[in-house]
Amino acid sequence: MMNLSRFTVLIGIFSISLIQCSLASVVSTGDFNKDFFVTWSPSHVNTSADGGTRSIQLDKDSGSGFASNDMFLFGQFDMKIKLIPDNSAGAVVAFYLTSGQPNRDEVDFEFLGNVPGKPYMLQTNVYVDGYDDREQRIKLWFDPTKDFHTYSILWNLHQIVFMVDWVPIRTYRNHAEKGVAYPRFQPMSLQMSIWDGSDWATNGGKDIIDWYKGPFIASFKDHKIDACLWKGNPRFCRSDSSANWWNNERFNSLTWAQRRLFTWVRKYHLIYDYCMDNKRFQNNLPKECLLTKY
């Protein structure tokens, strides 16, 4: 197993590099009231007086959610999240990008609650032009209910990278030239939600929400949107400029340090990968499964 001290150093190197590169184009204010609007059930959304922290609630009456005021085409999206403690079975907390169109593009973090003593599952998924079936699941290497952790999506012309505390847990590369669909045309908003997924989320739907344990609350803080603000001109967002740092060559692929972390996650924490599910796809795996991951 990877040496933990070296593991920490690798994370630090990458996070410092990312901060240095991302100073030029931050479009978020750090205030939830200014950067987002409530999409449903305002009574279940609570925001601190300074706008820096927000929580969303699920109970028998309703779930809740909020979304960014703006749409974006490429960038990096960071959010610190603290998940539902104790018995969270059946509850789903989502942090995702979505185009909101019928043939939508979407990039998902979905946190699947669990019964006490069992680990939270983190499911990721990618929709392109309305098609998904690209689920992966991992077990997190920490308890996400005890403290806030940073969850990030890097989305550029070359790749999508899902990160947890700067550790890359999944990639989805742009293999469009090889016939693989990739989200590169539709702008997307950043959204958060909490809802009842009892029919599938925990143990295949066998463990459902115990409403007597509610309300179920997830908290968010320190959001950062460093992305190309959509103004109807995709050419601007696709340009390789100092403002669009995420499209620069150094972000075309994972670095050597990131590749080691990526391999560590897949070796020790991966639970499910659609690219290994031959039965589901009748021995005809999606084309991207046979192509390079970085």
Residues carrying an active site annotation: 106, 110
Specify which residues 225 forms β-bridges with: 77
CA angle 108–113–78, rounded 5-degree value: 40
CA angle 134–55–37, rounded 5-degree value: 80
Q: Which of 243, 230, 260 is nearest to 105 (CA)?
A: 230
Q: Which of 105, 108, 252 is nearest to 187 (CA)?
A: 105
Instruction: Say how far apart CA 79 and CA 52 lie, in whole Å.
Output: 11
106-112/270-273 β-pairing: unpaired
Are 164 and 272 contacting, i.e. CB atoms less than 8 angstroms apart? Answer: no
State both tokens at 92.
């789903």
Which phi and psi angles does 54 have, rounded to 5°? -140, 145
110: enclosing H helix or E strand: strand 106-112
Give, rounded to a whole angstrom, the gap between the first and last alpha carbons of the chain: 22
Q: Which of 68, 70, 123, 117 is nearest to 93 (CA)?
A: 123
State both tokens at 220.
């968010």
Four-residue CA torsion sign, 286, 287, 291, 294: negative
Instruction: Say how far apart CA 265 and CA 228 lie, in whole Å.
Output: 30
